[in-house]
Structure 1
Amino acid sequence: IFSRKLHNGQTQIRDWLLYSSSKNALFCFHCVLFSKRKSLLGNLQYGLKNWAKCYDKVQKHEKSPLHCESVRIWYLRTEGAKNNSINKVLKEEMYSKISYWTQVLRRVVSTITFLAERGLSFRGNNSEFGSVHNGNYMGCLELIAQFDPFLCEHIAKYGNKGRGNVSYLSSIICDEFIQLMNNSVADKIVYEINESKYFSIIVDSTPDISKTDQLTVVIRYITATGESKERFLAFLPSVGHKGEQMEYALIKKFNELGIELKNCRGQSYDNASNMSGVYKGLQARIKKYASNAVFVPCAAHSLNLIGSNAAESSKEGTQFFYTIQMVYTFLSSSTYRWELLKNIIDKSPSKSTSVPKNLCITRWSSRHEACKGILSGYKEILEVLKILSEDITQTPSTRNEANSIRKKLEKLEFVFMLNVWTPILQRFDATNKTLQSKDINLSIVVSLYESLELYVQDYRKLFDNILNKSKELCGKLTFSWEKSRVIKKKRHFDDSNSVDTIHHGEDKMKNDTFYVIIDTLSSNLCERKKAYINVHSNFGFLSNLTNLDSLTLRRKALHIVNIYNQDIDTSFIEEIVQFKKIAISFSKEDLTINGLFTKLSNSPLALTFPNV
């Protein structure tokens, strides 16, 4: 009915015929607008509803004088009088305004994008053009206007007219565009996640500047081209610290975005019990929706805990880092002291000497810089402290504090701890940075933990070497406690005859401090790496694919099929055996797990090995 067949067989569309779903009727576009005598098809109140005879009625209406007259009027008002019609003038004016405001919005959007990409603030103390306190958003528009006559004229004409006047420059428009960009980016991320299907979640909570606790949600997934991506998904404010509360917030957010949690195959949080608890923690609750969502603790956070526990395992370790912070606080709290230190360091013949650094609370391994600063500038710092303690122009409290810190730094035990921790922290810091790299995988994590454990175990043999180096640096041959009287424990008649072992001098430092720190590091590294080894044991064979025989490969592939029987079928076993024959020809860079996936994704091989 919406087209007619001509006598020569051609089909012609009746573009004037419209259907209204609300009226359930047909209408003639031209007759509704221009017919003086309303026919059935031209009457907006009724329309044509006689479906049994509608085809004949439409044909009859099409040939009626009323319809022909309405079409003639429409033609004259549009195409028939293009050169001098009012419609042409109105269209030109409309297109001119569209073009004008489009040019304005392009500049506004570019400014917002520029600030958002760099994480800069938008607002200032006011929203007035010409003010130096109007914020980065308006400031950038003013800067562009200096070189853009169009924007300059627009700001001059519409800039500070206030509410009720359209300018598309206000903070309200800015907020709307930020929200639109947010929605667009979120849609793109969700599209990529759903296209990839499988993903992992990374969740952590932290207070913002307003002391509001926010749950940060990050998604990690592999694109169709084999590229691994981590995308920030959302901040969830004031969720609560219980596993149940975080579970509810996550499920709600995922449902809003249209992400199916059943496709989650991995989760990584810190080691807090509300996150990592095996019964009521968030990881256990997520497994109710995705049973194969393997939990892997944050490797960098685990490394921080290992170092922190080792430092607190002995009295000397705790006092050592307290003294390190005391040195930085004392010298940096006065510009005079800091300049004095810098001047002395500049005169030092050693080019590797650096100033003290502040201890980082969150990233424990970065304390390497603080220890390195003290060790490299040890003699220069002592010289500064001596000058300050003897300077009569300084206040008595400053002189006393400088003298007190200098005495702490001159002790053999402090220098010994400095020489113990600096190399260890240097290795921890380098390892920590690698653990936080974008392309890290479980194979590398396990290798790093194992190598660090072996390094610490080997470090246990270096006590004498470290002690001699410390004596040479500070010029002291004995520890401070060797001069104090040994406290004897009073014995009672019912005490056993066994004699308590009391270490003295170097043996005390070795057994009560050095070995305690090293053994704590070693045991914690061994314990923490088990979480990664358990997961790596399932997938690690993929990074060693070409070196495995077919029998071993089939056994490990069967193990994967049994675990992920909802995702892959038994064809995976034979596919991986055949794929190994092809992988032998790959370069060394392509034989990693990421490399194999990228190679497979970007070639026709993906059709041959769908389960791989």
Structure 2
Amino acid sequence: MVAWSNFKGIQSGSAQSVASSLSSVRQQEIEENREYVKLLLKAAALLGRQGLSFRGHKEDDNALNSGNFIETLELIAESNPSLKKKLDRRYGHYTSPQYQNDLISVIGTHIKHTICTEAQSAQFFSVMVDETKDLLKKEQLAILVRYFSEGVVKERVIGTYHMEKVDVASLVDFIYKEIEQSGLIWSNCVAQCYDGASVMSGCFSGVQVQLRDKIPQAVSVAKVKLCYGSLLAVLHKVEESSDSEAAAEASGLYKQLLSIKFVVNLHVAEQVLKVTNSLSDQLQAK
């Protein structure tokens, strides 16, 4: 009789079947897990925005300081019972070093996509590249894009990369593919800028020379004085663009380039960089 009553209740909709109950519990668990991951991402984003390290020397239960990431989560958990419940479980915390790296990677991918989308909307951009050794003497390459958006010039890092090879051919190939994979169009690149190292800025076979063969319209910023006329020509061409907003921005930049203030600042900057270049080379050599 009990079974029959249960069956009638299910048929009439006044009771749930076992399958429906399990499905409901599963859906609730999914929602709780999603909220938990959101908190993990928020904590990771906060540390990244503040430029703080994630990990401690020890991250187990006996550690006096488990690192900024876990300590931040535990602080939030004091007023968030759901988070505390997750952290108190024996497993499924998703706070290990590997998961922390995954969270950083996800956030980094999103930031890079946002930057490249904005740079695409700006249409024209320049590429800035620098390479140096970190504390472990490993070669690190940084790639930045510079573009005009929302009335201001923006410089944004789209990635830093550990380079196994730092010869010209390897660097040119990597930089070229990285920009392409970021969704940016090389034909819209109007300038390129590198550090003073010979492998980067060498006048005969450096990276800038090799890339200039692929993208001849991208002038070297280190030689802006020589290419001043080319910059004006590019802006004048953009002024004639069918995109009224881009044309207006180009017109404004064109007038600024012709101003006495800009020319004087350009000359002063060149003289200062000539003096500091040798110091920069020495610091990077150590």
TM-score normalized by the length of structure 2: 0.72
Look up the match of 1:147. 79
CA contact (8 A) 2:131 2:195 kept: no
Look up the match of 1:14. none
1:106 and 1:272 map into 2 onto residues whose CA distance is: 43
User: CA shift at 1:568, angstroms?
Assistant: 5.5
- Change in CA separation of 1:539 and 1:564 when aligned onto 2, cut-off 3 Å: closer
**Pair 1:232 & 2:163 matched:** no
**Pair 1:134 & 2:60 matched:** no
Look up the match of 1:117. 49
Q: Secondary structure at the match of 2:160?
A: strand
CA contact (8 A) 1:266 1:292 kept: yes
**Pair 1:279 & 2:210 matched:** no
1:233 and 1:201 map into 2 onto residues whose CA distance is: 10
Query: Please, what is the CA RMSD of the aligned residues?
Result: 3.3
Look up the match of 1:534. 226
The structure whose Rg is larger is 1
CA contact (8 A) 1:104 1:168 kept: no
Picking from 102, 106, 124, the partner of 1:198 is: 124
CA contact (8 A) 1:193 1:221 kept: yes
Q: Deviations over 1:368-421 (max 9, x none)?
A: xxxxxxxxxxxxxxxxxxxxxxxxxxxxxxxxxxxxxxxxxxxxxxxxxxxxxx
Q: Secondary structure at the match of 1:112?
A: helix
1:539 and 1:196 map into 2 onto residues whose CA distance is: 17
CA contact (8 A) 1:239 1:246 kept: no
Q: Deviations over 1:5-41 (max 9, x none)?
A: xxxxxxxxxxxxxxxxxxxxxxxxxxxxxxxxxxxxx
Which of the pair is proportionally richer in strand?
2
Q: Which amino acid aligns with 2:85?
A: E
- Count residues in correspondence: 241
TM-score normalized by the length of structure 1: 0.36
User: CA shift at 1:203, angstroms?
Assistant: 0.9
Look up the match of 1:107. 39
Q: Secondary structure at the match of 1:220?
A: strand
Q: Secondary structure at the match of 1:111?
A: helix
Q: Which amino acid aligns with 2:67?
A: G
1:568 and 1:592 map into 2 onto residues whose CA distance is: 15
Look up the match of 1:180. 106
Q: Which amino acid aligns with 1:532?
A: V
Look up the match of 1:85. 16
User: CA shift at 1:249, angstroms?
Assistant: 1.8
Picking from 198, 201, 213, the partner of 2:139 is: 213
Look up the match of 1:59. none
- Change in CA separation of 1:92 and 1:202 when aligned onto 2, cut-off 3 Å: same
Q: Which amino acid aligns with 2:141?
A: L
User: CA shift at 1:95, angstroms?
Assistant: 2.8
Q: Deviations over 1:408-456 (max 9, x none)?
A: xxxxxxxxxxxxxxxxxxxxxxxxxxxxxxxxxxxxxxxxxxxxxxxxx
- Change in CA separation of 1:568 and 1:103 when aligned onto 2, cut-off 3 Å: closer
Gaps of 5+ in 1: 1-75, 298-530, 541-559, 594-612
Q: Which amino acid aligns with 1:266?
A: A
Q: Deviations over 1:536-594 (max 9, x none)?
A: 34556xxxxxxxxxxxxxxxxxxx2xx689x669x57xx9xxx8xxx9xx9xxxx646x
State the identity as a percent.
23
Look up the match of 1:95. 27
Look up the match of 2:176. 251
1:193 and 1:80 map into 2 onto residues whose CA distance is: 58
2:13 and 2:98 map into 1 onto residues whose CA distance is: 40
